[in-house]
Each structure stands twice: as structure tokens, then as C-alpha cells.
Amino acid sequence: MRSDSRSARIQVLVAAQAARRGARVGVVDVCTAAVAALPVGGAGLSAMSRTAASHPLCSTDDISEQLEELQLTLGEGPCVDAFLHGSAVLAPDLLTGELQDRWTVFADAALDAGARAVFALPLQMGAISPGVLDLYADVPTVLDAEELADALAFADLATLLLLDARIEETGAPSHRPSPDRGFEDLGAYRAEIDQATGILTVQLGVGIEEAFIRLRAHAYTQGRRLADVAADVVAHRLRFSPHAEPDQADEGT
């Protein structure tokens, strides 16, 4: 990744929020950094799934918290649409007729809560879609091209942080990269990472999200670049097995 890239700049903003909290980088830092960088009043993030219950993870203020809960309870709203369609949903003014018709209950409830504009950015990496980042403003607001690109970059970083948290839940490797090391292993895009993730769904008999988590966990424990591990998987130099310990080196390494 180029150091002057948008992703790198967004990472620095998020890391600064974590430093202020005196904690490791988490999705809450993405929310606070997004609010500081964009013309929005608040941000919230929900974990979403097609097969399990969705739940709010964090929010920067009461209005954001209400927006997350409203959408998950009602089953409608920008965040629900963003998740289902896998694309950003931008609602610059909830008072417009079109948006009132689209979300008959949510639109008024959100206005009552104090939101006027809502932007929902899906967290996704192909078929991996662990949640949605919601931003709101209390006045009609249009994000310009630069702001939207930043918002999408915040969502991408949130995706990785959410999946990283899952690596820790599985108890796999203890030494994940420190926040300052960031995500340099994900710098340049490599098709092999996605192909290897698909391959692991078969080798491990798991879903696509779990496959990606296991791939990254392996790279962490071996102290190798994700792209290199992925290239080994694609070239059949490295095989994963469902029976091996997750943090154990596989044959061929």
C-alpha cells in the first residue's frame, strides 16, 4: 500500500482515536474517526448475518444507537438494504417522499430520533459481509465523491477489525500485529487471497468468513505476509486440515 493512499490515511485517523482511548484499535475507533472526518453527527456499527441474529456493536451517541436498534428491530432501513444488496445506501434527506415510501416506518422513527440524513456502508469482501457501518447527520447532507470514498475506506477498515476480533475469539494466535503495524499485510490487492479463502472453505469445511479468519490467523502465527500464505495455498504448497490445531503449522511450511 502506498503511504499516501486513502486507506493509509484512514488507518492513521483510526489509530489516533485508539491512542486517545489508550486502547487497541477497535471498530469503535472507526466510528469516532469517521465522525471526526466526515460531515456527520454520529456513527454506529452493527454485526449482521444472513443466518444468525444481527446485533448492534457500537455507536458514538444516543441517536446512532437508536438508529441501529430501530433498523434491526424493524427489519427495514438503509442498513438493512445495504446488507441485503451489498452496496452503499445513501439517504441525504429522510423527509423526501421517495425515502418515506421506501422505509415507511423507519423514516419517521429516524426523524423522531433526530436524524435527517443516513448513510449505510456495507462491510464486505466478496461474499464475506459481517456488518454495516451507519452514519447520520441531523441536517440534509450529501456526501461528495471524496467524502464517500473516505466513508467506504472506513467501512473496509471496520471489516478487517471485525474479522480480527473474531480471530481472537477463536483463541487462535495470541500475537496479532500491534495496532501501529496496522494492516500492511493487506496492502496491494492480490487475487490469490480471495482464491485461497475459497479453497479453504473446502479444505476446512467452513464458511467463507471463517475461512478468511483461519487464513489470516495462520499468517499471523507464522509471522508471514497474508499474500505469501495465500499464494502457497493456491499453488498447493500448503494445505489446511480441519483436524489440525488452528495455530499449528501445517505440512509444507
Residues making contact with another protein (CB under 8 A): 1-2, 5-7, 50, 81, 84-90, 124-128, 145, 148-149, 152-153, 188-192, 194-203, 207-208, 234
CB of 156 to another protein, least distance (A): 9
CB of 91 to another protein, least distance (A): 9
CB of 226 to another protein, least distance (A): 14
Instruction: Specify the 3-state DSSP secondary structure of 236.
Output: coil
Residue closer to another protein, measured from CB, 86 or 171: 86
* Helix 145-169 with 27-37: angle, nearest 10 deg: 170
CB of 78 to another protein, least distance (A): 9
Angle at Cα 9 formed by Cα 177 and Cα 138, nearest 5°? 110
Residue closer to another protein, measured from CB, 2 or 243: 2
β-pairing verdict for 42-47 and 55-59? antiparallel
Residues 71, 87: contact at Cβ < 8 Å? no
Exposure on the CB side of residue 109, measured as CA atoms within 13 A: 19
CB of 240 to another protein, least distance (A): 10
Residue closer to another protein, measured from CB, 24 or 239: 239
Give residue 152's Cα distance to chain centre. 10
Residues 77, 129: contact at Cβ < 8 Å? no
Instruction: Specify the 3-state DSSP secondary structure of 21.
Output: helix
Residue closer to another protein, measured from CB, 159 or 221: 159
Residue closer to another protein, measured from CB, 43 or 233: 233
CB of 21 to another protein, least distance (A): 27
> What is the DSSP-derived secondary structure letter of residue 47?
E
Nearest Cα neighbor of 80 from 37, 117, 46 is 46
Residue closer to another protein, measured from CB, 109 or 215: 215
